[in-house]
Amino acid sequence: MKRSRSLKLILFAVVATLLGVYAPSASAQHTSSQFQGPKANKGTVTHSTKDGKSVLTLSDDFVVPDTPDPHWQVVDSDGNVYLLDKLKTKAFIGTSYKKEIVVPSYVKDVSKVVIWCAFAEVNLGEAKFSSPVK
């Protein structure tokens, strides 16, 4: 009986260790390089997974470019470009902006995030991940 109990404890410890090593981390985050560009050149973007969705979040030191129509844009590892949502809308008054965005499921991965001016059709700045994230 004592041996059976000890064996169960050892088995439990082994299983718990394996689950800890092999279980995917829901809180895994990846941070990009600093934004570099003519108008967006401060801050970074962090990729995380929340509720099974891929989420991008701008850092607190990011400064929204003073341009007419800044947007989120992502580029995947194959070079496909996806124009996503506006950084600022009428709902965001003053210095408020869309600091976080859910990456659509049709985007296979994200190699870099571009702040894109849809009005002037110009890259305002970009931040790259060391390897594609999804």
* 10-44 pLDDT per residue, tens: 545 555 444 444 444 445 899 999 999 999 999 99
Per DSSP, the three-state class of 114 is strand
Q: Given phi > 0 = left and psi -120 to 50 = alpha, else beta, which region is 121?
A: left
pLDDT digits (tens, 9 = 90+) for 123-133: 999 999 999 99
Supply the pTM of this predicted model.
0.76
Q: How far is CA 128 from CA 12, 16, 65, 75, 113, in A?
A: 42, 36, 18, 9, 6
| Percent of the chain residues topping a pLDDT of 70 | 75
**Angle at the Cα of 36 (from 32 to 100), degrees rounded to 5?**
50
